[in-house]
Homo-oligomer: A and B are copies of this chain.
């Protein structure tokens, strides 16, 4: 098995280094994961004037899975748009056809106090958001900024993008979502804005069609504005949510914050054959980069997702997840999740603690 390791920017290299420690332990135990590093995002720009250098894309294509840290930093904010770190991220998703983005929103009981929501509202929270990742207004054509006649007859700038989904795009991500629902609580909520948008109308129709293949799954539909309300009002009503790229961007970030500790949340982005890119949902946190204080657990848990989804090795995934639960139970905390009475550790120490717990 080949793994492309793309540390990226900011805290990316530090947190990825801890995940690599975990992978090395597993390799010693008999797994054969070959790792190769390459730059992406700002690091890609620094190395090759491209947030997704040709060599990095080639490596990622050849690999069975990709482990990503995070991209972005203030020094890249003034670059031309196509050169900015996030464009590397968008392009690798598209190039590898990673259409299904799995983003769990999970509350660790020991960290419940970090949530801004009342304990009874979030205790036991365990939602899986399946976000379509290679379509929608993110990639739709036509798009651009151009001059058009304004209300007073004079030309003015107009900015536009195309929100678009085809039947096949909706169908494949719906199958992934129903499949995940089957392995969980068998409840799936499809989120769109079908009362206003034709794009959503088709989304709703196709999801209903796919539902016929999964009679055991209880399917509901919800408008995106209502979903944003329900995630505040009673988030535990959800098991699996499936939605488009832009609604998923918004709702998955909202949902992840419910737990209060986004430093703990991993993600997977899968293609048709379960090849995947794995990354923490948090950003590159340039302000704390290089200080060895970042939380590596989301990245380590991303490795667990990699074993679960790409390597179809649930036992190893469980082993990693249990090790993380154990270090949390033992009271180890990086600064972002620290509360009085716990043991404050560095990024490296947290990585070592997980390795020890394995």
Q: Could you give, for residues 155-192 of chain A, a 1 whenever the CB lies within 8 Å of some chain B CB and a 0 otherwise?
A: 01111111111111000000000000000000000000
Q: Residues of B contacting A163 with CB < 8 Å?
A: 137, 160-163
Kindly provide the distance from the CB of A92 to the nearest chain B CB, expressed in whole angstroms: 15
Does B233 contact A253, Cβ atoms closer than 8 Å?
A: no
Does A225 contact B250, Cβ atoms closer than 8 Å?
A: yes
> Does A203 interact with chain B (Cβ within 8 Å)?
yes
- Find the residue from A148, A202, A228, A257 having the highest chain B CB count within 10 A: A228
Which of chain B's residues has its CB closest to A115's CB?
B118
Does B159 contact A233, Cβ atoms closer than 8 Å?
A: no
> Does A193 interact with chain B (Cβ within 8 Å)?
yes
B-contacting residues, A245-269, CB 8 Å: 246-247, 249-254, 256-258, 262
Does B150 contact A168, Cβ atoms closer than 8 Å?
A: yes
- A156/B166 contact (C-beta < 8 A), A198-B145, A257-B229 known: yes
CA distance A270 to B265 in the complex (A): 41
Kindly provide the distance from the CB of A34 to the nearest chain B CB, expressed in whole angstroms: 32
Q: Residues of B contacting A196 with CB < 8 Å?
A: 86, 90, 137-138
> Does A333 interact with chain B (Cβ within 8 Å)?
no
A residues contacting B by CB (< 8 A) are 81, 84, 86, 90, 116-118, 121, 137-138, 140, 143-145, 148, 150-152, 156-168, 193, 195-203, 205-206, 224-226, 228-229, 231-234, 246-247, 249-254, 256-258, 262
| 9 shortest interchain CB distances as A-B pairs | A159-B202, A228-B254, A160-B164, A225-B253, A232-B257, A159-B199, A156-B167, A229-B257, A116-B121
